[in-house]
Amino acid sequence: MQIAFIGLGNMGGPMAINLHKAGHSVRAFDLSQPACDKVAEAGVAVAATAHAAVQGAEVVVTMLPASQHVEGLFLGAGQLLAQLPKGTLVIDSSTIAAATSSKVAEAAQAQGVDFIDAPVSGGTGGAIAGTLTFMVGAEAAALERARPLLEKMGSNIFHAGSVGAGQTAKICNNMLLGILMAGTSEAIALGVANGLDPKVLSEIMRRSSGGNWALEKYNPFPGVQENVPSSKGYAGGFGTDLMLKDLGLAQENAMAVKAATPLGGLARNLYASHSLAGHGALDFSSIIASVQKKG
Torsion of CA 275, 278, 280, 283, to 10 degrees: -110
Partners of 120 in the β-ladder: 134
- Of the candidates 170, 232, 293, 294, the residue annotated as catalytic is 170
Euclidean distance between the first and final Cα of the chain, in Å?
A: 57
Q: Determine the Cα–Cα distance for residues 164 and 97; give it in Å rounded to an integer.
A: 8
**CB 18 within 8 Å of CB 130:** yes
- Annotated active-site residue 86? The verdict is no
Torsion of CA 109, 114, 120, 126, to 10 degrees: -160
- State the catalytic residues: 170
